[in-house]
Amino acid sequence: MENSAKQIQLTTEDKGKINISKYTSLMILILMVVLMSIFSKQFLQILTFKNLMQQVSAVGIVSIGAMFVIITGGIDFTAGYGLAVAGVTAGVFYQLFGNSLLALLLSAALAGGMLGFVNGIIITKLKIQPFIATLAMMSVCQGLALLVSEGKTILIENQSVLFIGQGFIGGFLPFAFIVFILVCLIGGLILYKTRMGVYTYALGGNEDSVKLAGVNTDRYKTLVYVFAGFCTGLASVITISMVANITNNLQGSVLLDAIASTVIGGTSISGGKGTIFGTFIGVIIIGLISTALTYLNVDSLLRDAVKGIIILIALLLDIIINNRFKKI
């Protein structure tokens, strides 16, 4: 079993090293920055980058969790409404313990982790496809968010909580972005330095081979969904502290943005391939698209449509560039 694990590790390390997509996504990012600099003189300002870093933090944290799931060959549609459920659950305990920051953090993380655990159990024990299982759970989360919140809004006045999403270190670096970087580092440590990371890649590459190697695939697959859930829970705290309130519609477009970020960053939707660096670049690209639409004064009613078209173009560029590299 130990030899098999070493063989799996060698295979998955190779997958991480030859992922050319992380470089193509970086080229797309550079191209976007150059174009925005040409079309908008206001773009290259410190305030623009401060706002960009702050805005991408919550989506970025969700994207890291989503990347783990997608590498295994799965998908998690609960990230959006899961964020709302974690948020309103945290709101209940936040008030129960006298507007406590610690209560907010712990309850949000536990609620997100529990949601991930339920997803993992449904997928591994009931043998339901991740697409169907998480789609159904998305609907459950939508109902739970409304039920737990009772349609009420909780205003956040605790300055420690507000600092998480609105505070800056040194007057420039958003604290929320620092949290995102820390999640990237933790994700990288897990993905590249632990057995869980080895099996995460292996599950997406060839799950049957992993089973034959004597690995408990159900355990590691469930752990991946739990990790994604924890990321969702943490992102809910970032979102709450940014908007300074807790409601049952915190999710926004986080699900679409998170999945788009991972795919643009080079994570293969069929599993087995993806990097932290690539996902990080994908997150910045998605944030930059929203910023660009604002600076170019695109009608707010058209922004989602235009954003979707730009994402499709970015993905097509990624495919074309990668196909050219394969031929060389």
201 lies in some domain = no
User: What tokens does 206 get?
Assistant: 């060839």
**Distance between CA atoms of residues 241 and 156, nearest Å:** 7
Tally of domains within the chain: 1
200 lies in some domain = no
195 lies in some domain = no
Give pLDDT tens digits for 196-244.
999 999 999 888 888 888 899 999 999 999 999 999 999 999 999 999 9
- β strands within the chain, DSSP E: 154-155, 168-169, 173-174, 245-246
12 lies in some domain = no
**What pLDDT is stored for residue 232 in this prediction?**
97
Handedness of CA 80, 83, 89, 92 (dihedral sign): negative
25 lies in some domain = yes
Residue 26: pLDDT band (50, 70, 90) is confident
Q: Higher model confidence: residue 135 or residue 311?
A: 135
10 Å CB burial of residue 115 (0-12, 13-18, 19+) is buried
141 lies in some domain = yes
User: What tokens does 245 get?
Assistant: 């309130």
Host domain of residue 91: 21-190+223-267+276-327
> Given the structure tokens 């993380």, which residue do they identify?
109
Q: What is the DSSP letter of 100?
A: -
Give pLDDT tens digits for 43-68.
888 888 999 999 999 999 999 999 99
Contact 291, 307 (CB under 8 A): no
**Phi and psi of 204, rounded to 5°?**
-80, -25
β-bridge partners, 174: 168
Between the alpha carbon of residue 279 and those of residues 32, 47, 53, the distances in Å are 17, 24, 15
198 lies in some domain = no
**Phi and psi of 171, rounded to 5°?**
75, 0
- Average pLDDT estimate for 179-183: 98
3 lies in some domain = no
